[in-house]
Amino acid sequence: MRRTERFHVEGPNSLWQLYKTVSFWKVLKNVLVVELARFTPFFRMKNWLYRKFLRIQLGENTAVAYKVVMDILFPERIKIGNNTIIGFNTTVLSHEYLVDEYRIGDVIIGDDVMIGANSTILPGVTIGDGAVVSAFTLVHRDVPAGAFVGGNPMQVIYTKEQMEQRKKQ
């Protein structure tokens, strides 16, 4: 189960009521920063933008690839460890708006994690240290440390122990 905070809304759907939840000016600033960072080819500059303007906790030597989309509403709820790679066109969400409620949850990505291209990470999940997420994966629950996961819905393909065994062969 993902760890999210749930907020019920009355009236129109929760996304229609977005600016009752988050300041318009915060969203505008975050959209501009995320779009600039998506197309910036320099990792140091991209990481600086994420840390300075979005308040994402971002480890050293982390590489966020071209066209990655960080959450624009609650980016401060994203934490990414050291020496991690987030692949091309991945989306990292810390919110989800539904018809009658919205949910917010921390996204924690550990050290030495590899996330393949075009993956989506949903709010409230933790990806353990040394995990590998294959391309096009919907990360809808926690990923154990050292595991290799993939698919939609996400499944554990190899556990840490199985991965270590395969490396010995």
Each residue's pLDDT tens digit, 121-161: 999 999 999 999 999 999 999 999 999 999 999 999 998 88
Banded model confidence at residue 87, pLDDT cuts 50, 70, 90: very high
User: What residue has token string 């917010």?
Assistant: 104
Q: What pLDDT, on the 0 to 100 scale, is given for residue 165?
A: 83
Q: In what order do the strands lie in the sheet with 95-97?
A: 5-8, 101-104, 95-97
Lowest mean pLDDT, pick from 33-37, 85-89, 157-161: 157-161
Q: What are phi and psi of 110, to 5 degrees?
A: -75, -170
Query: Taking a C-beta distance cutoff of 8 angstroms, is the pair 111, 129 a contact?
Result: yes
DSSP 73: S
Q: How far apart are CA 60 and CA 14, in angstroms?
A: 36
Closest to 88 in 3D by CA, of 106, 73, 66: 66
User: What residue has token string 């934490």?
Assistant: 79
Q: Is the peptide bond before 144 cis (omega within 30 degrees of 0)?
A: no
Task: Give me the chain's average pLDDT, please.
Answer: 96
Pairing of strands 91-92, 120-121: parallel
Q: How far apart are CA 169 and CA 166, in angstroms?
A: 5
